[in-house]
């Protein structure tokens, strides 16, 4: 029984490490969207997506390392990302209202 749990633990750790490496693809694509735009809304959505990817990366890091501190980092990123998205949405709404 113990041997089976150790093999499952190794499998989960290996899978999370591989997924951490694969997270470079969505990070690169999101950074590209942030740089290319074309509008402010596109850049803000890309920033929000980057926050989500960072939270997923923190969770995968917690699994790969076995350290729970990464989950605290992910929770902090999620909270700041949510507040930032709300603030940016309010900014865009006010900006659009000022143009009309």
CATH code (residue 44): 1.10.287
How distant, in Å, are the alpha carbons of 16, 29, 44, 77, 78 from that of 50? 19, 10, 10, 10, 11
Task: Decide: pTM greater than 0.85.
Answer: no
- Please state the domain count of the chain: 1
69, HSE (Cβ side, Cα atoms, 13 Å) = 2
pLDDT digits 0-9 by tens, 32-85: 999 998 888 888 889 899 999 999 999 999 988 888 999 999 999 999 999 988
Domain span including residue 36: 2-99
| Model confidence at 4: pLDDT above 80 | yes
For residue 3 the two structure tokens come to 């041997």
Query: In the predicted model, what is the mean pLDDT of residues 12-28?
Result: 90
Q: What is d(CA 60, CA 18) in angstroms, rounded to the nearest whole number? A: 10
> What pLDDT is recorded for position 75?
95
């Amino acid at each position: 029984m113990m041997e089976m749990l150790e093999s499952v633990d190794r499998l989960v750790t290996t899978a999370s490490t591989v997924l951490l490496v694969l997270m470079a693809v969505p990070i690169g694509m999101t950074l590209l969207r942030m740089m290319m735009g074309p509008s402010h809304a596109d850049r803000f959505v890309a920033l929000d997506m980057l926050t989500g990817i960072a939270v997923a990366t923190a969770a995968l890091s917690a699994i790969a390392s076995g350290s729970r501190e990464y989950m605290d980092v992910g929770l902090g990123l999620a909270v700041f990302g949510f507040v930032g998205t709300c603030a940016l949405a309010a900014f865009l709404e006010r900006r659009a209202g000022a143009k009309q």
